[in-house]
Chains A and B, each alone.
Chain A
């Protein structure tokens, strides 16, 4: 259970998040909204990359806001970035090892943990390839594998479908749906692709100009008139 309480984030005069309050209980929850609505800012509030003026994000009694950013990751927060973060001169395996380093996983379990995450997203074959040689799909999958290694509790995916082909999207759907059963983490999925959201998210929240304008079961939310005007009926 993730409880977002009164989160407010301001950039100068821009109110990127305006007292957002949200309780997330489902295994996979969607977050949609037009460009500039504050979706990435909300993931950044989870990560501690923006100054939160007010409010709390509590997961099973732990207020993430109280922790330094890197300690949130060690606690079990995992995320991918809208702009994929792959280091050109680091191998795929080393990307995952870098995450394990901070989590104090015993050496005997590291190899297996890397294999499991890579196998799960289906990129075992590129384990030793350098970041610079990966195509956009492999980069996305490496980023997701990074999120799944080392026992995550929450996985935030910021537009993981950007730039993927139809068949790759199908694979992404399966990957996302399998995260909770396979790894036990709750997933918050940010995306513009309504079909993807409809397929994988039990419930969905909608942001517009930093305000939460709808939250509930995904089909109900997507059918909501307010949501349609703000977002779908552009």
Chain B
């Protein structure tokens, strides 16, 4: 109940409602597509942020996990008649398990070393995606046909791009709610105690390994859901979208946006997908976005550790600083 009356939750709910109702009405066909992608990557970024903000751990493999979620979703979409929403959830859960599995050996490491291991994992998946490609309706386990990709199903109630955008936004809102529930409950307390020090957490009876794995699994779940949603948004996936380097970029943008609140993940998604599209639209090179990202990252590291979201929320909270 404390969670529901929390200001950030209320603002989030209102923003979600407005976005779901208004955005598809006023954004043109192109921008609906762009914003759908931005929302999907915001969803994935929220997982990166969670692991970073709660435990200080750096996960550079999120884009690779999105690829895995997308692969599983495509496979199930072509290979089964399951309802699409069930496929999205299943892809999320399987990807979460895979994420936790890969995190397991890495948990004894910290800081830069853990980051490097996640980068290696991302590189490994980049190679796999390249070698096996994504299912496009072909035969066999890998499901890759030489030409003529069969189309995949979207939920019956979200066939059009506008409706699918709403579907994605609702998934985004539910994901933020899931994270919020975790932060306010038992996992959030366990993560906070661990953040202070592992000895402190163990002395409080917390199974540190379990809760670290749980964070990675949750982050993987969100990546998997994002991947499945992306597959539905684009109709097919391309190995070139899941390069290891993109994982570094997504992490950097999650920090720039602000890893400590849902708003930061929204900024990360917008920076990752909307900004380059805007530059394209204005006839500028999308590479300019990269330069801006670099500058913003320096800014975040040096002066705004809580990112853009932190600065905005900070400005709001200044007026009323009684808590």
A residues touching B (Cβ–Cβ < 8 Å)? 47-49, 69-71, 73-74, 78-79, 81, 85-87, 89-90, 94-95, 97-99, 101-103, 146, 150
B residues whose Cβ falls under 8 Å from a Cβ of A: 186, 189-190, 192-193, 195-197, 199-208
Q: Which residues of B contact A73 (CB under 8 A)?
A: 202-205
Question: What is the bound-complex CA distance between A5 and B199, given in angstroms?
Answer: 24
Contact B207 A98 (CB under 8 A): no
| A85:B202 contact, CB within 8 angstroms | no
Say yes or no: A102 contacts B195, CB within 8 Å: no
Please give the distance in Å from B211's CB to the nearest CB on chain A. 10
Q: Which residues of A contact B199 (CB under 8 A)?
A: 47, 49, 81, 85
Please, how many angstroms separate the alpha-carbon atoms of A102 and B202 in the complex? 10
Contact B200 A81 (CB under 8 A): yes
In angstroms, Cα B186 to Cα A24, docked, is: 35
Cα–Cα distance between A151 and B44 once the two chains are bound (Å)? 41
CA distance in complex: A192, B286 (Å):
64
| Contact in complex: B202, A98 (CB < 8 Å) | no
A97 CA / B192 CA spacing, docked (Å): 12
B202 partner residues in chain A, CB cutoff 8 A: 47-49, 69-70, 73
A98 touching B203, Cβ below 8 Å: no
Q: Whole-angstrom distance between the alpha carbons of A78 and B204 in the complex? A: 8
- Of chain A, the residue at the smallest CB distance from B200 is A85
What is the CA–CA distance of A145 and B213 in the complex, to the nearest angstrom?
29
Query: How far apart are the CA atoms of A98 and B207 in the complex, in Å?
Result: 11
Count how many pairs of residues, one from A and one from B, have CB atoms less than 8 Å apart in the complex.
64
| Complex interface: chain A residues within 8 A of B208 (CB) | 70
B204 and A99 contacting across the interface, CB-CB below 8 Å: yes
Which 9 pairs show the lowest CB-CB distances between chains A and B? A102-B205, A73-B205, A85-B200, A98-B189, A69-B202, A87-B196, A90-B192, A74-B205, A99-B204
B205 & A101 in contact (Cβ 8 Å cutoff): yes
Interface centre among A74, A89, A102 (most CB of B within 10 A): A102
Assess whether B207 is in contact with A102, with CB atoms less than 8 Å apart.
yes
Once the chains bind, are B206 and A102 in contact (CB under 8 Å)? yes
Rounded to whole angstroms, the CA-CA distance of A97 and B2 in the bound complex is 15
Min Cβ gap A142→B in Å is 12
**What separation, in Å, do the CA atoms of A177 and B292 have in the docked complex?**
62
**When chains A and B are docked, how far (Å) is the Cα of A47 from the Cα of B206?**
13
Q: Sample 28 A-B pairs with CB under 8 A, ordered by A number.
A: A47-B199, A47-B202, A49-B202, A70-B205, A73-B202, A73-B203, A74-B205, A78-B203, A79-B203, A81-B200, A81-B203, A87-B200, A90-B189, A94-B192, A97-B189, A98-B189, A98-B192, A98-B193, A98-B204, A99-B205, A101-B186, A101-B189, A101-B190, A102-B205, A102-B206, A102-B207, A103-B205, A150-B205
Given contacts A94-B189, A97-B189, whether A86 and B196 have CB atoms under 8 Å apart is yes
Query: In whole Å, how far is B134's beta carbon from the nearest beta carbon of chain A?
Result: 41
CB-contact partner of B206 in A48, A81, A101, under 8 A = A101
How far in angstroms is the closest Cβ of chain B from A41? 13
Complex contacts, B195 vs chain A, CB 8 Å: 87
With A and B bound together, what is the CA distance between A87 and B200 in angstroms? 10
